[in-house]
Structure 1
Amino acid sequence: MLSAASRHVAQNHSSMLSIARRSMSSLPPTMKAAVVREVGDASALKMEKDFPTPKLEAGKVIVKNEYAGINFIDTYHRKGLYARDLPFVGGQEGGGTVAEVSPEAAAEGIKVGDKVAYSVFGSYAQYTSVPTGKLLPVPDGIDMGVATSCVVQGLTAHYLTASAHANLIQPGDWCLIHGVGGGTCQWAAQMAKLQGHKVIGTVSKGKEALARTLGCDELIVLDEVPGQSFEDYESVDVVKRVMEITDGKGCKSVIDGIGKSTVDISIASLAHRGIFISFGNASGAVPAFPVLRLIAKSAYVTRPKLLDYTANRAELVERANEIFGWLQDGKLKVSVDTTFPLEQAAEGHMYLEAGKSKGKVLYKI
């Protein structure tokens, strides 16, 4: 049996080995990353080949990224609409394999080589430091590009259709979703149907064939706005069509990622005691409006964000597991539109902002 002194020496030796393992890294000291040093247009997102590789920290892992998702919120950060400290690595959605594991992560059973997806800042890079609580194991049989797409767009669509409406819409009720031809709202249209809602989708000409594959009960087809990611909401009387479709009752929920161009349409399309869910600013920020506008229909309005609907590990995993389950069962289809090499970082943002995408846009790292 070891003496107390011997046990103390052994414990100190073990601690020193642990510290040594943390300080040793097989990763290169620098990496390629798409970095914003000054806010601005897409040209502000610049590829750098010698950006410092993140260091392994307690309670985290280093993920070697295979894909990074391109989302509209990334363009808001790049423009400075949502402020971040400069400089920063773009992106907040990634997927790949675990490259380094902290002792705390190892204690949770996380291993080098595990396939994971995540949402934290800094995914436009070869390597990203990710807290263990943000990791989502990717099930066998799910493509890494698809899994990466799930993390921001998929989880956003999930909370928009399952939770943000605060149970003000029930199965069989009508839901209006703007812009079902691309991005998050492709997911949302399918998930709303899985929740039992009847869906009206707005879509631009040229994307209606894709939109019909999503299960929408009705489509309102609008003219395109050249060079923009949103439709021409003056080309069709959307409110009139909504009321015709719903026999004058309106929609119990309206999911709106367009913003400035659609706020009046969204509120006018609501049913009595319906809810306007505003989650994006593709056409510009929603202007302030008097709350008395809601009194005519005793309507509700909410401006949610993903972070508050994945605030704890249990909720994050529950949402992700349902999405992955739908994918495995063939109930949910994901369209990966275009994949850019990270070296074409600016081009990826320009493509998304020009409204060219008919699905998810990714970077291949």
Structure 2
Amino acid sequence: MTQEIHGTVADGFETVREEFAAFVSTERADYEGQLCAYVHGRQVVDLWAGPSGTTNNSLYGVFSSTKGAAHLVVALLVQDGTLELDRKVTYYWPEFASEGKGALTLRELLAHRAGLVGTDTGFTLDELADDRAVAERLADQRPFWRPGAAFGYHALVIGALTGEIVRRATGRSLQDVYEERVRAPYALDFFLGLPSTQEPRFHPTHPPLPSPETQTSHPDSRHSLTGIAFNEHAPQPTVLATLPNERVIRAKGPASVGGVASARGLAGLYAAAISVVEDRAPLLKPDTVAEFGQLHSVGYDMITGTHRAYGLGFQATADTWYSFLGAGAIGHSGAGGSQAFADPRTGLAYGYTRRRFALPGGPAPENQRLVQAAHQATIQTTQAS
């Protein structure tokens, strides 16, 4: 039985609804997901599908899409002059200098060049939920490559590292700054620390469905760089696929992976970053967007073993499969399948969430056709106006 598609699209965006419906029609009956988009600060797509109880207000764990919210805070503080990209990390955080890390700059850290993807012995669940605890452990850790010599995805720790710099510079946690300057003013359904009052809206992540890939035996890679980066070598290894289902993760909102959001919240964040929304000026000036969207690390990623491209804290979204997006688009995907970004050249802000973890991890494949439909509709309606 084909699922019903709920929600609305603006004139000219009917093809986005058709593409979403076409995708949902091929999925299992328990598919649950949301799609939202803004153009120049105006909501143009608000769609969802799923079993009874699914709405556009449902909240999901968005894994590494959290990093986009975290690094919007860093961008704001750089724009304010509170942080300086080419200052050494030790200017803000002196203890970071141990084990040969003293020359690393904030710019290099944001570009995943620190070589500090984890610790030798791993983290407990309670530590992973607490960015200050992670930062304290990492300050004493010897990096896994010479800082600045290579880059690799700091999957579970980048938000704790940059968050500690925010705390040292402002006296407040990154999560508190985000709440005050970003989430609350726009009433965004994108939380770094989900209040208990919002818990009834949370839909736990469903683990991935079995596949030939998951059933094939693989050599033990827990102590590889990848295993260390994803905390697989800890006494109690992290199960990434269901990490948001842990209340301690949702409650503390670690800035690498702990965000809880709807597609509305994801898209709304990026709309606020680059566009006028409800008579509020964009959070980021064009020069700041350009700085943070500029390519800083491109090539072989030491952790994923694939080609990757990063700006400052954000993924270079146009470098993935979205070759049609404007240069300098900023965003971040999440392991469960979420995707969110802003394309400053077209004014498009996009957010997608889904409940079941999407193999092999990262932005779910359906984003390719959904993003392309949203982008084409944006171009066509802009040209027609």
TM-score range, shorter chain: under 0.3
Higher helix fraction (1 or 2): 2
Which structure features the higher share of strand residues? Answer: 1
TM-score (norm 1): 0.27
TM-score of the two chains, using structure 2 as the length reference: 0.26
Structure with larger RCO (C-alpha < 8 A, sep 6+): 2
Instruction: Please tell me whether Structure 1 or Structure 2 has the larger radius of gyration of its CA atoms.
Output: 1
